[in-house]
Structure formats: structure tokens, C-alpha cells
Amino acid sequence: MKAELIAVGTELLLGNIANTDAQYLSEQLSALGITVHHHTVVGDNPERLAEALEAARNRADIIITTGGLGPTYDDLTKQTICKTFGRALELHEDILEEIRSWFLTKMGKEMPENNVQQALLPVNCTVFDNPVGTAPGCAFEEGGVHVLMLPGPPFECRYMFEHRASQYLEKLTDGVIVSHEIKIFGMGESAVEQALREPMTRLANPTLAPYAKLNECMVRATAKAATAGEAEALLSPLIRQVQETLGDVIYGIDVESLEAVVSGLLREKGLTLSAAESCTGGLIAKRITDLPGASQIFRGGVVSYTNEVKSAVLGVPQDILDEFGAVSESVARSMAERCRAICASDLAISVTGVAGPGPDCCGNEAGTVYIALASEKETICQKLSCGRGRGRDRVRTAAASHAFDILRRWLAGLPQRA
């Protein structure tokens, strides 16, 4: 089945908000065995929406719209779709009562009269009620084309797809698509593609596709079959082949992030972590504390951006700072060791470097970073080049990711990257 997504909203065209609904729906449709061939975005304009619908009905089996189901004068998605497909609108009293109840229980006030518009739905449609908002969705089939209308706000769109629309669509498909994401750090997209070129060029089902991410890479392995079990059977030997080819640059399969992997390893081993950060400005601490339950494994950290704080708060000896400079192996080691003692953690990671755009006062080029890891028995340190001319944010993000990869390798008993 071929699908087309049509997002309605002038704010999307203006760039005021990102079209995250399209990304989410494409992923979910793929998992159902439905191929998305086109993404279209139109403003709150019925003429242009009608043009998009006419184009879509001639090339897609399924049309899914997002947005334009609100109570305001420019929310005209339903009206335009019904006109295009020759459907009348009718008032659904049960839906209207649900909307009235939502206002009373959630907002503590009476429903404004213009919200009655949201209870107008196509005749003989499948109604998708909306317990997390006021805009119901719906679906109908006309002339061999299935049309689904979903609300635009991402939370409502995702809830409605997961709890309502997916069940409707499952009845239309004759197979499933299963994908697994192989996450990689320490090898770029070109190198990954070269290493996997032979299987990628000969495979039809399953398939492999590399994707470049910020400071890392991902390979998606995908198979289509009648059942999920059959698809998994196709994928298992392929994923093993990728693991054997790429080795320990793979940090996980279907995992959220490097820091999530590190968090899991810390929990598994019953260890705690702290961080002493200079050029990363607290980014390591942020990324680890973004994870639920971080307090169980993260003790705290110090953003020691100046030499004065490195010395006075962390206790880095002034003579080391004077002799070697802040961006040095000696200072990185001392930062990690002192942070571990101050925070009473099992491990401490430290980062000191030059975010740029130019070199520091000691002649260290932008992107020069030292990362140290202190444990009870040892302190290791690596000097890295996180890229000249890449911008401060890119250098900082790369440095934090390298720090998590150093932690991952140490915790998993893997050799550190040279």
C-alpha cells in the first residue's frame, strides 16, 4: 500500500514549527508495511489543500492529513476533504458531548460555541475519539482510497495514531516491515558504507541503509514479511554479519543513545559517576541527567570553566595549571581525580579543551580536547581532535560523545580507541 502524508498549517510553511508528525507517522507506517511515497505541506488555504488532495488521490492508496481540525475559521481540513471526495458532514452528538465534558473537566469552563465545528465529521466515517484533546479524527474509504484525518499537535497526533488509526490501518495491510537500528560511534558514514557495500548492493529483502547522525552513524536493517517473526528471521543473520564486520564501534542496537548505554552499564555494575567539565560546559551532566533515574548512577559534577575554579573548587594544583596550561593531559587527569574525590563517586570523567573558533592562548587549535577517566585503580586520558572550523556547538557535542564512548568501552572491558 502506498501512502501520502499531507500536513496542513501555515506555521509549518513559515518554519515556525517543525513537521515532527510526518517523521513519526512515516516510521509507524513503515512498521505496518505501508510505504510512504510523498510528504506534502500546505498552508491554511482550502484551494491549495484541494490541489494537494487531488494529486494524492491519483497516486496513493492511503492519504493521511494532520492539522486543520481545530475550532477556528481557518481550520478547514474536514470541509475541504469532504468537498474533494463528495462527502457530507454531519454532527456527531456523542462527540460533541465528549468535547463539552473535556472543557469542563480539563479546563473548568463551558465549551465555546465554535468548538461545535469539531464534532462535524464525514457521513459514514470511522470516528477516532480524542481523550487527550478536543479534535476528533476520522477515516473513510472513497473510490479505493482511504482517507485518515489526524490532529496536528504532536502529542494528540501520536496518541490517536497509536490508539485509533493504527488499528484501522492494520486491517488494510498484508505484511509487516521490521527494522532495527544499529548505532555506531567512531566510524563515519563513508567508512561504514565501504565496509558494508557488498551486502548492501546485493540485498533486496532484507536491506541495509547507512545514515549519518551528529557525530555518529546508524545502519538500519529492514525486512518485510508476512509476520514479524518471519521478518526477524530474515534480519538475525544480517545483523550478526554487520556486528562481525564493524566490531566494537557498534554501541548498541535499538538503543536511545550513548549515554543511555553508559547508564545501563553503570547500573549493571553498581557504579556511580561524576563529571568535571570545562569546554563542554555541563553537557555531559545534562545528557546523563536527561535520563530517568539518573540519580541512582550520577553523583554530580563541576563546570570548571576558568582556571580559578579548576584550582579553588576542584583543587587542581596551581603549578600544574601554570606549567601545562588548562588544555593538557596533566590538568585533565587532575580534574577527573579531584572530581571523583569531591563527589565520592566510583568513576569520574573530565573534559578540557578548546571549543573555538580560534586557538587558545597556549596555541592549542580549536577542537583540541583532553578527556580523562578516573577510577579507584587507574586514570586514563586521551587527546582528541574534535574538528577545526566545526563551530563551538559541534566541538562541545563531539567532546561529550567521546567522553561517553570512553566510559562505555571502560565499563564493557573493550579497548579504548587509538
Distance in Å from the first CA to the final CA of the chain:
48
Positions of the chain with pLDDT under 70: 388-389
Distance between CA 288 and CA 284 in Å, rounded? 6
Say if 417 falls within a structural domain: no
Boundary of a domain, candidates 207, 223, 253: 253
**In which domain, by residue range, is 85 found?**
2-170
Same-domain status, 392 and 331: yes
Say if 360 falls within a structural domain: yes
Say if 38 falls within a structural domain: yes
Distance between CA 383 and CA 98 in Å, rounded? 61
- What is the predicted pLDDT for the residue at 404? 98
Same-domain status, 304 and 393: yes
- What is the predicted pLDDT for the residue at 411? 98
- What is the predicted pLDDT for the residue at 326? 96
Which tens digits make up the pLDDT trace of 25-70?
Answer: 998 998 888 889 999 999 999 999 999 999 999 999 999 999 999 9
Domain holding 214: CATH number?
3.30.70.2860
| Structural domains of the chain, count | 3
Boundary of a domain, candidates 170, 195, 228: 170
Backbone φ, ψ for residue 347 (5° rounding) = -130, 155
Same-domain status, 121 and 268: no
Closest C-alpha among 293, 291, 290, 266 to residue 349:
266
196 with 219: CB under 8 angstroms? Answer: yes
Same-domain status, 284 and 387: yes
- What is the predicted pLDDT for the residue at 389? 64
Which tens digits make up the pLDDT trace of 307-327?
Answer: 999 999 999 999 999 999 999
| CB atoms inside a 10 Å sphere around CB 172 | 15
Say if 418 falls within a structural domain: no
Same-domain status, 153 and 191: no
Same-domain status, 16 and 80: yes
Q: At what angle do helices 46-57 and 77-85 cross, to 10 degrees?
A: 50
In single-letter form, the type of residue at position 273 comes to L
Closest C-alpha among 128, 131, 129, 75 to residue 102:
131
Say if 35 falls within a structural domain: yes
Boundary of a domain, candidates 170, 189, 204: 170
